[in-house]
Amino acid sequence: MKNNEFYSNPGKSNPSGSNPQCGRLAALILVLIVLCAHCARPESDRGQVVAYVSEDQVFSEPILREFETETGIKVNAVFDTEETKSTGVLNRLVAEKNNPQADVFWANEPIRAEILKQQGISTPYVSLSAAGIPDIFKDPQGHWTGFSARTRVLVVHQKVEIPPDSIQAFTDPHWRGQGVIANPLFGTTTTALAALFTSWGGERAKAFLQELKQNEVRLSSSNGESADLVAAGEFAFSLVDSDDAVSRMRRGSPIRMVLPDQSEDQIGCLVLPNAVVLIKGGPNPENGKRLIDYLLSKETERRLALSDAAQIPLHAGVEPPPEMPPIENIKTMQVDYAEVAGRMQEIMPFLKEWVGY
């Protein structure tokens, strides 16, 4: 019956002529327009900095929050997911080259930072905070600066009595079907392979990869998953980043960590510092520089060393995490990061084919 009343005289219910339904609808649309306008309003350039971050969010976010607290500058960040680690935001930066949205790129290794330099996306900035960091971990032109390093380590299940001590174990028939590595198209595994291509040369590195296949080395989606698979006893060992190993060890997983290739005649382990980059044409360059200064400080290195990231400080005098030796006690693989970056782009088609893409 109510409907019929509407039908017979729509305006009767409100003699004044104003229609409450119309009013409500108009109010709703107005509120939506205001909210949309608010959403479509870019934040003020002052008091903010835009950071693209490929370091794990769980480790990097507390550092960025601390920066916000200390400086009052809000950090708007984009983080990589595990699956596209260190390639997702890098490629977003490349896609935004002509329309930069980021001020700072916090890379979890220097190779992607070097790629940004080679593509003209970064701009030099030499921070005073980087004074104590060895030159080997800095770009000579100041496009990127390294800090808080990880190493590539072997993570081995505790049930293995004599653990492997070299990456050559992946091709050793003794370990057939017992090794796992992350997909080499992503993350630091790509970097590690590019470093091998640089150190060994293409032929030997390609042969090594073919032997990996023959020795039934399995691929996982990420270093974290590789460490989990070893912790679960599904594989005997894997090559992962030190933070992947330490975080699981601290959770009580039955694994141990081995620094590979430490003998005199071996190549050493690859050290991967974080790298921070100032983006050319970013919207907040001054705040970007302040964030870079903060990230390169001893205090940030100390915090990253104490956290589950367990990263090795590059400043002298900052305590390393308990599970890791000081950087000077590690036999490191001697590589030129710029050369590795160039090599990485060259070998991508081969790696895609190797993986089966």
Q: Which of 118, 166, 221, 266 binds another protein (CB under 8 A)?
A: 221
Q: Which of 66, 71, 78, 142 binds another protein (CB under 8 A)?
A: 78
301 binds another protein (CB under 8 A): no
Query: Rounded to the nearest whole angstrom, what is the least distance from the CB of residue 283 to another protein in the complex?
Result: 9
Is residue 50 a contact partner of residue 104, using CB atoms and an 8 Å limit? yes
| Binding positions for another protein, 172-211, rule CB under 8 A | 185-186
66 binds another protein (CB under 8 A): no
Query: Rounded to the nearest whole angstrom, what is the least distance from the CB of residue 18 to another protein in the complex?
Result: 11
Q: Which of 109, 114, 139, 243 binds another protein (CB under 8 A)?
A: 243
| Binding positions for another protein, 328-357, rule CB under 8 A | 356-357
Q: 111 or 333: whose CB is closer to another protein? A: 111
Query: Rounded to the nearest whole angstrom, what is the least distance from the CB of residue 91 to another protein in the complex?
Result: 3
92: CB partners within 8 A, 6+ apart: 52, 78
1 binds another protein (CB under 8 A): no
316 binds another protein (CB under 8 A): no
Query: Rounded to the nearest whole angstrom, what is the least distance from the CB of residue 76 to another protein in the complex?
Result: 3
128: CB partners within 8 A, 6+ apart: 293
Query: Rounded to the nearest whole angstrom, what is the least distance from the CB of residue 21 to another protein in the complex?
Result: 5
254 binds another protein (CB under 8 A): no
Query: Rounded to the nearest whole angstrom, what is the least distance from the CB of residue 19 to another protein in the complex?
Result: 6
79 binds another protein (CB under 8 A): yes
Query: Rounded to the nearest whole angstrom, what is the least distance from the CB of residue 148 to another protein in the complex?
Result: 15
305 binds another protein (CB under 8 A): no
CA distance 19 to 275: 62
332: CB partners within 8 A, 6+ apart: 151, 268, 269, 270, 271
Q: 155 or 335: whose CB is closer to another protein? A: 155
| Measured CA angle at 248 (ends 247, 253), to 5 deg | 155
Q: 132 or 283: whose CB is closer to another protein? A: 283
160 binds another protein (CB under 8 A): no
Q: 81 or 334: whose CB is closer to another protein? A: 81
Q: 15 or 317: whose CB is closer to another protein? A: 15
The three-state (H, E, C) secondary structure of the chain, written as one string: CHHHHHHHCCCCCCCCCCCHHHHHHHHHHHHHHHHHHHHCCCCCCCCEEEEEECCCHHHHHHHHHHHHHHHCCEEEEEECCCCCCCCHHHHHHHHCCCCCCCCEEEECCHHHHHHHHHCCCEECCCCHHHHHCCHHHECCCCCEEEEEEEEEEEEEECCCCCCCCCHHHHHCHHHCCCEEEECCCCHHHHHHHHHHHHHHCHHHHHHHHHHHHHCCCEEECCHHHHHHHHHCCCCCEEEEEHHHHHHHHHCCCCEEEECCCCCCCCCCECEEEEEEEEECCCCCHHHHHHHHHHHCCHHHHHHHHHCCCCCECCCCCCCCCCCCCCHHHCCECCCCHHHHHHHHHHHHHHHHHHHCC
| Binding positions for another protein, 4-63, rule CB under 8 A | 6-7, 10, 19, 21-22, 25, 28-29, 32, 35-36, 39-42, 48, 50-52, 56-59, 61
CB atoms near residue 248 (< 10 Å): 21
| Binding positions for another protein, 275-294, rule CB under 8 A | none
Is residue 93 a contact partner of residue 123, using CB atoms and an 8 Å limit? no
| Binding positions for another protein, 83-122, rule CB under 8 A | 83-85, 87-88, 91-92, 94-96, 98-99, 101-102
Q: Give me the residues that bind another protein (CB under 8 A), please.
A: 3, 6-7, 10, 19, 21-22, 25, 28-29, 32, 35-36, 39-42, 48, 50-52, 56-59, 61, 74-85, 87-88, 91-92, 94-96, 98-99, 101-102, 185-186, 220-222, 224-225, 228, 231-234, 243-244, 247, 251, 308, 356-357
